[in-house]
Amino acid sequence: MTRLPALLAALMLMLLAACGGGGYGGDAPAARLPPTAAPYTLGPGDKLRITVFGEETLTGEYGVTGAGDVSFPLVGNIPVAGRTVEDLQTELTAKLGAGYLEDPRVSAEIINYRPYYILGEVTRPGQYDFAVGLTIEQAVAAAGGFTYRANAKRVFLKRATETRERLIDLRETPSFPVRPGDTIRVGERFF
C-alpha cells in the first residue's frame, strides 16, 4: 500500500509532461532557446561614428535615416538597413577610392543603437535605450519591474524584423536576449 502514492505521483508527472506542463494555448509559438548570435544589422535610428583617416572634414557622426540610408559627403546616400557595419566600411572605402581619395581608410562604429520598447504590465512602459547584452529580465528591471497584475512567467517579444510576436517562457529562458528595435509586451496573469 505504501507504493500507491509514489505510483500516483509518477503517473501525475507523466501526464503533466505529456500535456506540455499546462502550457500556453494561444497562437504565439513558445521560444525555448535564445537564437544564435547573428551579426548586428543597421536600421533606422542607429547613430554611427564614421572616421576617414586623414580627412577631418569627412569624419563625424551620422544617423541612419527612416529610409535606412546614411547620407555621406561626396558619395551621397548609402542604403545600410539590414547590412552590417563592416559592409558599410567596405562600401565607403570603395566609393571614396573611386575618384575622391587615394587609398582611403574608413572606420565605422555604432555609438547609439535604436531603442527597444516595453509595454503592458510593467511600472514604466515606454521606449528605452538599448545596451549590448540586454536581456528581457534587465529590460523589465529598467521599466521598474512587473506590476502586481503581471504574468511574470511569460512575456511576448516582437523582433523589429518580424511581423508576429512570439511567446517567451521566462521560466525556461530568463536571460533571453533583446535586440534594438524589439517590442516586449508583458500581459496580465490569470488567477
Which residues, other chains included, contact 186 with Cβ-Cβ below 8 Å and sequence gap of 6+?
118, 119, 120, 121, 122, 140, 146, 150, 151, 155, 156
Q: What confidence tier does 3 reach under pLDDT thresholds 50, 70, 90?
A: low
pTM of the model: 0.68
Q: What confidence tier does 174 reach under pLDDT thresholds 50, 70, 90?
A: confident
Looking at residues 139-150, what average pLDDT do you find? 95
Which cell numbers in the block locate residue 86? 563592416
List, for residues 53-94, the tens digit of each pLDDT value: 999 999 999 999 999 999 999 999 999 999 999 999 999 999
End-to-end CA distance of the chain: 36
Which cell numbers in the block locate residue 148? 502586481
Q: What confidence tier does 185 reach under pLDDT thresholds 50, 70, 90?
A: very high
Q: Which domains does the chain have, with CATH numbers?
A: 47-112 (3.30.1950.10), 114-191 (3.10.560.10)
Q: What confidence tier does 30 reach under pLDDT thresholds 50, 70, 90?
A: very low
